Structure formats: structure tokens, C-alpha cells
């Protein structure tokens, strides 16, 4: 699969799973993302957008051959008040498995077309391939929330990372034990650093975040940060990308870090704002040297 381009599923149809993530469950990889498979809608408020179709899911055993499992959380055209109405914005879905109830919990950025609702939505399913049922939407702890991700720690405690204070500060908010709500404990990180598109990983007791700057659909420089605790003192370190176009994140933007064995991979979106449904994907291995995190460009990702 050529990095930076849109990839096809096992039926030769372009994969619609933008702002996505990959979850491994019982030996199967599930790729969730925004289905943007329609022409751009008119952009009131200035941002290019596609009417909400829903969250797609694809499955694979080798991260190369992807089977479309369908739209697992669908838009609700008949309910204008729903956060899933086509006129809204549904972005960056992230799914975690809740072991005690064997359920799957999906969090997403729920917004309006001018990005002023700045909320999250939460949906649950007892199957990784859905259908997911919306359980709530809210501003996390009353705080604005745009780009976001979910990180589940090794002790099973999960956290929402969300760009807040008009994207100036990355808030970290702890989830309740059932993962469908927040328990109120939250703390800011990367204060006034204007970072978004967070992707989180843990390695040898150190937590890493990779984030982008805030330039909408346009690429910018990625930065990684480290901390010894999820809710702790996060410190921006450097641009992890190396080689040509490293200062533009290879014309991509971070969305998730998943790990296979000991090998972490960064997923990127290559946004094409003029026709968002043609936005491409990359999956790049993350390496560590004495100098820290390093992400080099690879022309291809061909699974495992
Ligand atoms: C980006 C963000 C995307 C989308 C876009 C809208 O900054 O990372 O997820 O919200 O802005 O312009």
C-alpha cells in the first residue's frame, strides 16, 4: 500500500476511515474512521466538510487486506437535533474494549459545521463491528473539545485527550470505570502550545504524545512530548519526523498510534480539503534512538 494515497478494501473500493484508529481484538485488527465517501458539502463557516455519513469499520488479520464491515455508527438524517445529523461534524472516532462487560466503547469529536459545539459523543456496542448505539454527547467536564483521542493505560484506566481552550491547551480527562463517561478528574497539558491531532503511546514507563499544530486541513510540523504519568508533566521534545518533508509531517497529520508486538506505528491522514473523500493514509513505524522518538518516511506499508 503506497503511503500518502487512499487505499482500497478487498473489493477494490476506496477505504473511508479518516481520522481513524486500529484496534486489535482476538487476533483481528479493526480500523475505525470517518466515512467521508461523498463530495464536499458547501463550506459554511469556512471549513471544507462532507455531510456526516457515519463511522466506518474495516477488519483485517494482516493489516493489508481490509474487509468493509459497514458503517457501525450511522448518521441520522431524520433527526435534526441529533449529533449524528448529516449537517453536523463527526470526527476522529476512537474505540476501546471494556473487558468487564465485553463491550466496545466509541468516542468521537461531535461538533457543528462551525466547530463551536466542541463536544464529544460516546456510543457502545457488544460487537467490534457494531452497530454502536449513541449513549451521550457532552462537553467534557464542561470544557470545549475538538481534536481528541482515547488512551487506555496498562492498568485499564482510560483517558480522553482533547484540544481545549480554543485548541490552545491539551486537556486530559479520566474516564469512568465503564468508559462511557468522565469521572471529573482532569488536568491540562501542553498549556498554550496549540496542539491537536493527539496520538498517545507508552514505552518503558514513559508516555509519548505525537500532535500536530493547528492549521486546519493544512499540514504542519508534528511534535512529540513525553511524561512519566498520563496526568502528569508533559514536555514537548522535538519533531519526531525525519527526512524529506519532515517539517510538514510528510504532508500528513497524526491520528493514532497502534502497536503490533513491540512495534508502534503512527497512522497519518493526508487531507485533501478540495475533495475530502480522496484524502490518503500512511502507516509509519516509530523507532527510538538515544536521541528519542523517530519517524522516518516509508513509501509503502504492506501490513504484517
Ligand atoms: C483539523 C483537524 C481535523 C478537522 C479539521 C477541520 O485541524 O485535525 O480533524 O477538524 O481541522 O478543518
Q: Is the CB of 252 under 6 A from ligand 1?
A: no
Q: Is the CB of 91 under 6 A from ligand 1?
A: yes
Does residue 160 carry a pLDDT above 70?
Answer: yes
Chain-centroid distance, C-alpha 184: 22
What pLDDT sits at residue 76? 98
Ligand 1 near 243 CB (within 6 A): no
Atom of ligand 1 nearest to the CA of 196: 8
Name the residue with cell 522518538. Answer: 293
Give CATH superfamily name and number for 18-296: Glycosyl hydrolase domain; family 43 (2.115.10.20)
The separation between CA 173 and the C-alpha centre of its own chain, rounded to angstroms, equals 16
Residue nearest to atom 1 of ligand 1 (CA): 216
Amino acid 44: pLDDT: 59
**pLDDT value for 47:** 83
Output the pLDDT for position 22: 98
* 216 CA → ligand 1 middle, Å: 5
Q: Which three cell numbers stand for residue 237?
A: 521534545
Distance 27 CA to ligand 1 centre (A): 32
With a 6 Å cutoff on the Cβ, whether 19 touches ligand 1 is yes
pLDDT at 283 over 60: yes
Q: Which residue from 119, 216, 219 has its CB within 8 A of the most atoms of ligand 1, so it is best to mutate? A: 216
Q: Is the pLDDT of residue 155 over 90?
A: yes
Cell, residue 25: 481484538
292 phi and psi, to 5 degrees?
120, -155
Can you give the pLDDT at residue 43? Answer: 64
Tell me the mean pLDDT in the region 108-121.
Answer: 97
pLDDT band at 145 (very low <50, low <70, confident <90, very high): very high
Q: Can you tell me the distance from the alpha carbon of 35 to that of 277, in angstroms, rounded to the nearest whole number?
A: 8
Mean pLDDT, residues 255-273: 97
What is residue 253's predicted lDDT score, i.e. its pLDDT? 98
Atom of ligand 1 nearest to the CA of 19: 9
- Ligand 1 centroid–CA 217 distance in Å is 6
Q: pLDDT tens across 29-42, in order?
A: 999 999 999 999 97
Answer yes or no: are the C-beta atoms of 2 and 300 closer than 8 Å: yes
Ligand 1: does its nearest atom lie under 6 Å from the Cβ of 147?
Answer: yes
**Which protein residue has the closest C-alpha to ligand 1 atom 12?**
216
197 lines ligand 1 (CB under 6 A): yes
For residue 45, pLDDT over 60 is answered with no
171 Cβ below 6 A of ligand 1:
no
The mean per-residue pLDDT over the stretch 51-71 comes to 98
**Average pLDDT for 162-191:** 98
DSSP the chain: -BTTB--B-TTSPBP--EEEEEEEETTEEEEEEEE--SPPBP-GGG--B----EEEEEEESSSSS-EEEEEEEE--TT-TTSTTSTTSEEEEEEEEEEGGGTEEEEEEEEE-TTS-S-EEEEEEESSTT---EEEEEE-GGG----SEEEEE-TTS-EEEEEEETTTTEEEEEEEPTTSSSEEEEEEEESTTS--EEEEEEEETTEEEEEEE-S-TTS----EEEEESSSSS--EEEE--EESTTGGGGGG-EEEEEEEETTEEEEEEEE--GGGGGG-EEEEEEEEEETTEEEEE--SB----
CA 139 to the chain's CA centroid: 18
Residue 295 clears pLDDT 90, i.e. is over it = yes
Question: Do the beta carbons of residue 281 and residue 64 sit within 8 Å?
Answer: no
Residue 215 Cα to ligand 1 midpoint, Å, equals 8
Amino acid at each position: 500500500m503506497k503511503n500518502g494515497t487512499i487505499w482500497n478494501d478487498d473489493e477494490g473500493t476506496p477505504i473511508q476511515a479518516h481520522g481513524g484508529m486500529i484496534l486489535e481484538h482476538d487476533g483481528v485488527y479493526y480500523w475505525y474512521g470517518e466515512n467521508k465517501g461523498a463530495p464536499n458539502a458547501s463550506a459554511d463557516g469556512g471549513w471544507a466538510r462532507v455531510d456526516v455519513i457515519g463511522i466506518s469499520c474495516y477488519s483485517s488479520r494482516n493489516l493489508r487486506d481490509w474487509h468493509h464491515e459497514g458503517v457501525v455508527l450511522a448518521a441520522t438524517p431524520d433527526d435534526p437535533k441529533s449529533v449524528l445529523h448529516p449537517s453536523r461534524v463527526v470526527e476522529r472516532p476512537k474505540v476501546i474494549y471494556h473487558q468487564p462487560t465485553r463491550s466496545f466503547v466509541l468516542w468521537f469529536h461531535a461538533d457543528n459545521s462551525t466547530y463551536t459545539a466542541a463536544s464529544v459523543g460516546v456510543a457502545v456496542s457488544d460487537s467490534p463491528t457494531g452497530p454502536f448505539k449513541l449513549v451521550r454527547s457532552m462537553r467534557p467536564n464542561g470544557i470545549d473539545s475538538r481534536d481528541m483521542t482515547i488512551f487506555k493505560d496498562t492498568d485499564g484506566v482510560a483517558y480522553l485527550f482533547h484540544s481545549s481552550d480554543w485548541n490552545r491547551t491539551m486537556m486530559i480527562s479520566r474516564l469512568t470505570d465503564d468508559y462511557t463517561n468522565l469521572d471529573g478528574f482532569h488536568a491540562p497539558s501542553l498549556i498554550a502550545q496549540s496542539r491537536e491531532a493527539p496520538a498517545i503511546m507508552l514505552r518503558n514507563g514513559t508516555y509519548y504524545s505525537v500532535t500536530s499544530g493547528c492549521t486546519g486541513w493544512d499540514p504542519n510540523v508534528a511534535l512529540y512530548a513525553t511524561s512519566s504519568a498520563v496526568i502528569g508533566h508533559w514536555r514537548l521534545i522535538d519533531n519526531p519526523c525525519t527526512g524529506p518533508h519532515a517539517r510538514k509531517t510528510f504532508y500528513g497529520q497524526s491520528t493514532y498510534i497502534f502497536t503490533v508486538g513491540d512495534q508502534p506505528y503512527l497512522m497519518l491522514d493526508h487531507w485533501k480539503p478540495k475533495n475530502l473523500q480522496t484524502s490518503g493514509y500512511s502507516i509509519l513505524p516509530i523507532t527510538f534512538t538515544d536521541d528519542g522518538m523517530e519517524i522516518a518516511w516509508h513509501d509503502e506499508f504492506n501490513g504484517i
